[in-house]
Amino acid sequence: MKLSVIMPVYNEKHTIKEIVRKVMNVNMEKEIIIVDDCSIDSTRDTLRRIDNNNIKVIYHDKNMGKGMAIRTGIKYVTGDIIIIQDADLEYEPEDYYELTRPIIEGKADVVYGSRELLKQNKWSYYRYAIGGRFLSWLTNLLYHSSITDEPTCYKVFKADILKSINLDCKKFEFCPEVTAKVLRRGIRIYEVPIHYYPRSIEEGKKIGLRDGLQAIWTLIKHRFIDKHSL
């Protein structure tokens, strides 16, 4: 089965070359779809030097957010399985093997990589750990699920499932929106442990309090208000 890696990028000049190298080193049939969300540092210069038939780079003319970058990437997918990959180095592409195994073996349609299931993982800030656990708890409360890491970057889907979801997200609310819509369809989210190497705000971490509040609202909205959008 062919893996499609969607990589939204914004101002990642320090990490983009290395993360692309790490993804390319994963020994699987794959394509990488990089969507540059109008970076204003030298990220685009690096991307323009990429010469590989398995890598497609799309450039947004203006900054629209991670969610919009993912939605753009989905349009170019030709693989059977889709994984979301951040352009920093917080997540380990070597985990692709275990993340895709449940789908390849027919055990799952959607797989999340859980940072909580690998106890050796650390967090850059305690507030991020608490925030992530709260969002997981709220998700389980609202949607009667049992996941441990709702806001994880590593979300893996059978391609036809993700393509069929009507996404409205623009920024970081991709995670709670896609989670809500998957669970409302009655699809179980299968979790596997993943490695996590958090970076600091000084190193480029972008998510903040406003994004956390937006995630809470998104989970509530798709449970009680926007109940017909799947």
What percent of the chain is modeled with pLDDT above 90?
87
Q: What is the mean pLDDT of residues 165-178?
A: 96
> Is 67 a member of any domain?
yes
What percent of the chain is modeled with pLDDT above 70?
97
Q: What is the mean pLDDT of residues 36-48?
A: 97
Q: Which of 13, 155, 172, 9 shows the shortest CA–CA distance to 95?
A: 155
Residue 136 predicted with pLDDT over 90: yes
140-154 pLDDT tens trace = 999 999 999 999 999
> Is 153 a member of any domain?
yes
Q: Which H or E run includes 71? A: helix 66-74
> Is 230 a member of any domain?
no
> Is 139 a member of any domain?
yes
What is the reported pLDDT for 123?
Answer: 84
Please give the mean pLDDT across all residues of the chain: 95
Whether 81 contacts 108, CB under 8 Å? no
CATH of the domain at 11: 3.90.550.10
> Is 165 a member of any domain?
yes
Angle at 140 between CA 175 and CA 88, to 5 degrees: 30
Taking the C-alpha atoms of residue 226 and residue 213, their distance in angstroms, rounded to an integer, is: 17
Residue 192 predicted with pLDDT over 80: yes
> Is 143 a member of any domain?
yes
For residue 199, the enclosing domain spans 3-225
The domain tally of the chain equals 1
